[in-house]
């Protein structure tokens, strides 16, 4: 199945304390590159999450975001009573030393502003919560894969249409090749007329030279190879599950044959067809980069 490397998947997990929002985005890349953002409480599961993404998405620039809504997961805040008692005793002593009647409410209000009164400790991950979150990640990965499949179908349709356009242009080349022999012959004669008297030219030798010249300009092999590359392109799309890299290599080979054909063409009409094929091939290469 053809997949794009561009995709998006989102799933929301409802936990007893609140909800966890899981979002996964992907873009094209030559390798697998995973960027993971999540609260510290889930850090122990990072390798597991990365392995899940690697197995499901295979390749691409992957951004995974796990965000917490509605509750402060990962932190457990509490009042340090021992510190409060010590501060309170010391404050009472200060009041007595200054011969001031202590006001317990004022003392408490001041103490609660001290930075070390409120303390926090990391909350341990609840395994029951993790089971739900892990399932949520699996569902988000399924959604991004569905997105990739839909996107891949659209991309590959466009690519194959362009390969067909190249084949159609290639099929028009032979009708212009017949014009090349008289054109080349006349061009050589015109040049010779400029340089010397052609009355004493050996016609047989001239024909041999023209044949030799045309053999150097022959594009039969290029046409055959380009046609084979186009057919192989279709075969690869049908048989390979992740043909992105292979399609890129085939596109390069197609480009070599088209360029050689253009350099040998020596015919205006064939050159126009070559330009059309090059234009289609550039778009194929660009689209192929996004195929998994």
Q: Are residues 114 and 142 in the same domain?
A: no
- Asked whether residue 1 is assigned to any structural domain, the reply reads no
- Asked whether residue 54 is assigned to any structural domain, the reply reads yes
Residue 197 pLDDT greater than 60, yes or no:
no
Residue 76 pLDDT greater than 70, yes or no:
no
Give residue 107's pLDDT. 83
Task: Decide: helix, strand or coil at residue 190.
Answer: helix
| DSSP code per residue over 51-100 | HHHHHHH-SEEEEEEEEEESS-TTEEEEE-HHHHHHHHHHHHHHHHHTT-
Q: Are residues 182 and 284 in the same domain?
A: yes
Give residue 257's pLDDT. 96
Q: Are residues 158 and 273 in the same domain?
A: yes
Q: For the packed helices 203-216 and 180-195, what is the interaxial angle rounded to 10 degrees?
A: 120
- Asked whether residue 207 is assigned to any structural domain, the reply reads yes
Q: Are residues 94 and 133 in the same domain?
A: no
Residue 92 pLDDT greater than 80, yes or no:
yes
Query: Residues near 228 by Cβ (< 8 Å), separated by ≥ 6?
Result: none
Q: Are residues 81 and 105 in the same domain?
A: yes
Neighbouring C-alpha atoms within 13 Å toward the C-beta of 84: 13
pLDDT, averaged across the chain? 86
- The dihedral through the CA atoms of 37, 41, 43, 44 has a sign that is negative
Q: Are residues 142 and 11 in the same domain?
A: yes
Q: Which two tokens stand for residue 55?
A: 């197995």
Cβ-contact 129, 15 below 8 angstroms:
yes
pLDDT tens per residue, range 243-258: 999 999 999 999 999 9
Q: Are residues 281 and 217 in the same domain?
A: yes
- Asked whether residue 86 is assigned to any structural domain, the reply reads yes
Show the domain range for 51: 7-71+126-148
Q: Cα-Cα-Cα-Cα dihedral of 37, 41, 47, 48, to 10°?
A: -110
Name the pLDDT band for 185 (thresholds 50, 70, 90): low
Name the pLDDT band for 84 (thresholds 50, 70, 90): confident
Considering its fold, how many domains does the chain have in total?
3
Q: Are residues 84 and 13 in the same domain?
A: no
CA-CA distance, 17 to 8, in Å (whole number)? 27
What is the CA angle 161-165-169, rounded to 5?
A: 170
Q: Are residues 116 and 234 in the same domain?
A: no
Name the pLDDT band for 10 (thresholds 50, 70, 90): very high
Q: Are residues 45 and 136 in the same domain?
A: yes
């Amino acid at each position: 199945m053809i997949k794009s490397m561009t995709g998006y998947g989102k799933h929301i997990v409802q936990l007893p304390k609140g909800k966890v929002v899981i979002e996964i985005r992907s873009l094209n890349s030559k390798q697998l590159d995973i960027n993971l953002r999540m609260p510290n409480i889930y850090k122990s599961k990072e390798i597991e999450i990365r392995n899940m993404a690697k197995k499901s998405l295979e390749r691409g620039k992957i951004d995974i975001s796990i965000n917490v809504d509605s509750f402060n997961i990962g932190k457990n805040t509490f009042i340090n009573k021992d510190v409060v008692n010590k501060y309170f005793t010391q404050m009472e002593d200060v009041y007595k030393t200054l011969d001031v009647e202590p006001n317990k409410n004022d003392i408490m209000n001041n103490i609660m502003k001290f930075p070390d009164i409120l303390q926090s400790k990391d909350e341990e991950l609840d395994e029951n919560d993790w089971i739900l979150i892990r399932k949520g990640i699996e569902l988000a990965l399924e959604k991004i894969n569905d997105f990739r499949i839909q996107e891949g179908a659209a991309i590959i349709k466009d690519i194959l249409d362009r390969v067909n356009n190249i084949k159609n242009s290639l099929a028009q080349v032979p009708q212009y090749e017949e014009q090349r022999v008289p054109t080349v012959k006349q061009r050589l004669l015109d040049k010779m007329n400029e340089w010397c008297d052609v009355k004493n030219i050996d016609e047989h030798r001239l024909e041999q030279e023209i044949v030799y010249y045309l053999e150097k300009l022959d594009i039969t092999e290029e046409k055959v190879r380009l046609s084979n590359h186009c057919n192989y392109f279709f075969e690869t799309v049908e048989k390979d599950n992740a043909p992105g890299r292979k399609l890129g290599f085939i596109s390069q080979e197609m480009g070599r044959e088209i360029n050689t054909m253009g350099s040998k063409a020596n015919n205006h009409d064939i050159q126009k067809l070559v330009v059309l094929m090059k234009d289609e091939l550039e778009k194929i290469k660009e689209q192929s980069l996004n195929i998994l």
